[in-house]
Structures are given as C-alpha cells and as structure tokens.
A and B are shown apart, each in its own frame.
Chain A
Amino acid sequence: MPNDVTAVIQRRARELLSSGQVVMLLGYRPGRSSAQPAFITRPEDASLLVFDQSCGPNLAAFLPKVKHLGRIGVVAKGCDSRSIVLLLQEHQLRREDVFILGVGCNGVLQDSRLSDSCQTCQFPNPVIYDELIGEPAAASGQLKAAGGQQSADSGQRWQWFKNEVSRCIRCYACRQVCPSCYCPICFVDTTMPSWVGRTTRLSDNMLFHIIRALHMAGRCVECGACSRACPMAIDLMSLNRKVSQIVKERFGHIAGLRAEEKPPLTVFDPDDRQEFII
C-alpha cells in the first residue's frame, strides 16, 4: 500500500497533468535496486510514482534539460528545493517554469544506511514550493566536522585530499548528477587548450577535484548526490562541506536559500574582505 506522501503525490500528479497545468511530472519510481527519476507525461502513469527513503537523486539536475517542454511539475526534498533556488538565482530556470511539490525528507538511504549528507542535513524541508505534501521533517541536530581535512595540520589535510582523489577514475558521475554543474562545456572537456590532463594520475585528479570544489563554493546545497554517485566512494561531501563552511564564514552565505540572493562568488562587493591583497 502506498504511504500517504506517495498517495498524495500520485493524486496531485494526475490532477496537474490532466488539467494541463504541467506537461511533465518529474518524480521517482521504484527501480530494481533504488528509486529512479521518473518523467511522467500521461495522467494514467501517475500511479508509477513513489516517495520513500530510496529517492536519492536530486531531481533539480534534470530541470534544465526538460524545461523546454513546458511547465514541469517536480517533487522536491529540502536539498532539491535549494538546488531549484540556485538555478533561479543563476537564471537557469524561471519560477514559472516549475510547479514544485515540496516534501519533507527524513533522509535518503545508501546501501541501507542513512546517506552521509543526510546525517548533517539542516534543511530537510523545502525552502521553496507551490504545495507542501505531508508533514515537515525535523532537521538533524548533528553537525559533522568536515572529514579528515578538518585536521589542524595542513600536511595531514593534504594527505587526506590526495588519498581520496587518488581513487578517482574520472567518470564524472559527480559532475553529471550535480544540479549546480550545468555548464554546456565543462573545463575538463575543452581540448584547445586542454586545461586538465585526461589521465587518472594524481596531479590530473587533484586539479579536477580542486577546480570542481572551487566551482561549488557558495553553490553547493550539500545534497550529497555526488558522494552517492561516486563508484569509488570518494568523500566528496567532506570537501564540499569545507568549502561551504569557508563561504559561510567569509560571506555569511548559505547556498540556495533565497531566490533573490546571489551566490557570493558570482558578484562583486566593494566591502568584501580583501586582506589577502597586498
């Protein structure tokens, strides 16, 4: 029997599609191992939709790819909704492009355990929505230190970083599942010039991951999709958390909370601290 949230999502999807308010409902359907993104266009297919703790993928990543079809209905957990805010802030999406079915989230599972990013989630409820489905969820009280690189010793932090990224096979799953990574051509895919070597040797891997992390500064909503997607179990979230923490300290900014704000690294403010400029 579908749980309450699933039942409401199915009903609302059917209504929104039937009335023509949306052309597609982006939600989740059960897969053989974990839930899969579902792209529902016919009201009669709404019964395929589910919502439970296996619904990990951040659906906001698909919005720029399907928005040309018309208005899209989308099921959004807290982190997904923050990604939508980020896409609005960066003009990748207009508010009228989406109808947001917000859901409170109790965390998603990875290998039957609560995903790392969900253990420290401070925003389990949607920050933007057209409708809220079900009960709001409680934020995690746990604040997790940013992994091995939190060590005071820079040598240890560097060792941690090298150790993690040495496993990278450059499949770019972290980039592809990330809603913040929407560039039509990524810096690693340019050949003239070739900014990053294509090998998996440590120097190439480090460069890719350093640039990826910096491009996430003030833009990562900490949904954890990258960490869950990584086939080599690289602790990308620790790196992201560290960058988020620095942005919060320096600029007082938390990514993807208010559509009218701008990520601090995309704008110039004469009052920014500039003590590093000699």
Chain B
Amino acid sequence: MKAKGERRKTAGGMRKGSRRSAVGGQRKAVSSERSAPRILTRAEFDRLIDELVAKCAVYAPVAVEETGKLEFRRIGSSSEVKLEGLADVGVVGQLGLRPKELLFPQCEVLFHFSPSEPGRMVEPEPPQEQVLFGVRPCDGAAVAFLDRFFSGRSDSSAPSDIYYRARRERTTLVGLACNRPADTCFCRAVGGSPSGTTGLDLLLTDLSDGFLAEPVTEKGAALVADMPVASQADMEKKQRLAENAGQAITTTIDTASLKRRLDRTLVSEGSGPADAVWQALSLPCVNCGVCTFLCPTCRCFDVTDEEFRGRGRRMRVWDSCQFTLYSRHASGHNPRATPHSRFRNRVMDKFSYTVAMVGELSCVGCGRCISACPNGIDIRETVETLLKMLPE
C-alpha cells in the first residue's frame, strides 16, 4: 500500500528565490520586500507559461469548440493561452466547472481494492503539481472558502480533508481581475471584489499593454520575482480599472439581516408562513443539479464502491442537495422529501449554514447559477424576496 501522505517530488531543488521554486512552495502571505507589483509583458508572460508547462500541469481558460464556452483546459504551450479579453466577463461569460473541479474532482478514486484480498488497499498516485492562470477573483474567494470548509475547523486554515489538501498544496492560483463584470456578477454584494485577491497567489490585471502582477503569497511572488517593478502610472491605471469594475456591480445584499431572517425559519422547517414563502419561490425550480454542480463552493459528495471482474474501487462523486437521493435514509424516510425543501436547503447553505459552520457565506457572487438555470431563477431575486417576506 502506498502512503497517501507521501510527498511527490515536484519542482523542488530549484534555486531559492527563482520563479521555479514557486511551484510546490508554501502558501505563505508574501513578505513586504517581495510584495512589489511587477509588470509582465506578453513576451514575458509567454516565457513564464512555457517554463511552467515544462515541469507541471498548466491550466488556462480556453474556448471549447463543442460548447462554445470557456473552460479551464490543460495547455501545452503559451500559444494556447489567450488572457486578452478574459477580463471582460460580460462578453466571454463564466468559466464552467473549473477551477473547483481541479481541486475537488467530480469523480475521485480514493483507493483500489480486490475482494479476493481483504484488507489490501492501493491508493492512487498523488496528484500532480498544477498552476491555474486566469482565475476570477470570485473563484479565488470560493477556493478560500473550500480551504476553510475542508479544514474542518473554523479556526484553522490547514485543510484536513486529505484528498482536497493533496491537490490544494500542489496548486498555484494566478488570478485575473475582472475589468468589466457581467450583468450576472454580484461579488461585491457578498464581500468580494472584481479585483479581490482572496485565495489567490498572484493577481494579474490586464492593462491592455501588459499585465500588472500583484503577489499575494510567496508562491505567487516567486513566479514574477525577476520581472520589472511596476511604475506609479501602471498602479494608477490599475486603480482606475478596479474602481470602474467595482462600480459596475450595483447589487447589494444585507447578508447579516438575511441570516437573522433565515435563522428564524430553522425551527419551523416544513410549516408556517415561512414555508409558504419557500414554496412560492421554488415553484419554477425543477430540482436539477445545474446550480449546485456549477457553484464554485458547493462541495457535497457521495461515496460509492464499484467492482468489476474482481477489481474494485472506492470513489467519491459530487452529489447535489437538489436530488431526492441526497437526503433519503436507508429506511426510505426522506427528511427533505419535497422539492421546495431542497430548494430551501441551497439558499440556507449559502447564506446561513456555512456562516455558522466556518464563519463565511458560501456564495461568492459569480453568477453561474443565474446564467445556467434552465428556468431563469435568479438568486438575487430570491434573496430580495426573502428579505422582504421573512420577518427579522
């Protein structure tokens, strides 16, 4: 049996301080002497990508032909990466299932077993070192949430879910600030910002004649350590872009008041006037899993065993609170049997449960659930109605 905790040999052994040591390095907040923003020209950017491609998995948003949408795909060379235009969220749309799926895959083999050899388990190879380019600030915030959630304790940032941790420790997130948010974006209403750095290692801003690169962690700083330091003019340009982007997001949500109102319905689940509100709100919902699967913070999974011709494996697979099977007991009893109780659970999770569990909302305002809902349900409208209809 292979030890799960075994550290994979990564790009370690490189010169300290060079960009190479970033890969596999620690996610420590950047020290003040290395925090200076840098400037990356397209040529430098390409060189950085090609160096990284040579030694680890590099992912970047790529237009997928079949779906016409942008998805993080593994890239083989800098020529495949087009970060230009990506900061215009309104035009290019949201970024599919990833990055969540690169840290918390939809199907993950936990171990292999053989019924003829009881007690013997073989764990898969540890995950590969990976660098993600073009991560949106909302998705960075979502990863920060997942870090806290999978750490199991609200007072620790060290993830304790070993499968999540194994991937997270080998991941570098290079963000790209959103210069023009989409009309479905509402990160500012839930504590984020189109130029936020939470969860990221490095934040790029597209200045149109190059990228401003702001290190957030030592890992991020090492990637751009040998790039020229940005000028005052560059910083001012970035500031203007960030302010304009921020102003474009006008949705506000009184999340504290919302939580108080939601919490009052905890004891009355399934009955009373609040239940009627949930019923009315959930009518257009068909309880598919689109919103939860695309949500960058939804993290529920089921564990399933598979056996075929004497070889078996235990896997964890994404699950959704919108499915009847999710909460059905072995006895057949289902405490969340009605469609509206499942609709309610998603909203409660985002704006109440995780605040109680890990001290954070689990909505980052990315807008994926809004644009992908087959029946046009808009979480902003849902929340607006709840604030109006539920007593504080």
Contacts and interface: CB of A to CB of B under 8 A. Distances in A.
B293 A169 contact: yes
B266 interface: no
Given A177-B288, A199-B304, A231 B283 contact: no
B106 interface: yes
A190 to B, nearest CB: 9
A150 interface: no
A39 B286 contact: no
A176 B320 CA distance: 14
Nearest to B283: A39
Interface stretch (B122-130, B146-154, B375-383): B375-383
A199 B315 contact: yes
B341 interface: no
B386 interface: no
Given A31-B376, A32-B183, A33-B371, A233 B288 contact: no
A119 interface: no
A225 B377 CA distance: 16
Contacts of A231: 290, 293-294, 372
B306 interface: yes
Given A171-B320, A177-B374, A197 B306 contact: yes
Interface stretch (B64-72, B79-87, B160-168, B348-356): B64-72
B289 A170 contact: yes
Interface in A19-67: 31-39, 57, 61-62, 65-66
Nearest to A170: B289
B interface bracket (residues with beta carbon within 8 Å of A): 35 or more
A175 interface: yes
Nearest to A228: B374
A34 B293 contact: no
A209 interface: no
Contacts of B67: 167, 232-233
Contact of A198 (B287, B304, B372, B380): B304
Interface in B334-356: 339
B302 interface: yes
B324 interface: yes
A199 B308 CA distance: 14
B376 A172 contact: no
Interface in A126-176: 163-164, 167, 169-173, 175-176
B374 A57 contact: yes
B389 interface: no
Contacts of B63: none
Contact of A171 (B107, B284, B288, B306): B288
A228 to B, nearest CB: 7
Contact of A172 (B69, B289, B315): B289
Contacts of A175: 288
B91 interface: no
Nearest to B291: A171
Given A57-B375, A199-B107, A199-B315, A229 B290 contact: yes
Contacts of B315: 199
Given A177-B288, A189-B325, A233-B68, A197 B106 contact: no
Nearest to A172: B288
A10 to B, nearest CB: 19
Contacts of A163: 66
Contacts of B111: none
A3 interface: no
A26 to B, nearest CB: 9
Contacts of A33: 184, 370-371, 376, 378
A172 B323 contact: yes
A233 B66 contact: yes
B69 A233 contact: yes
Given A37-B284, A171-B320, A189-B325, A177 B375 contact: yes
A201 interface: yes
Given A32-B376, A167-B66, A171-B288, 4 more contacts: A185-B324, A199-B306, A200-B106, A200-B107
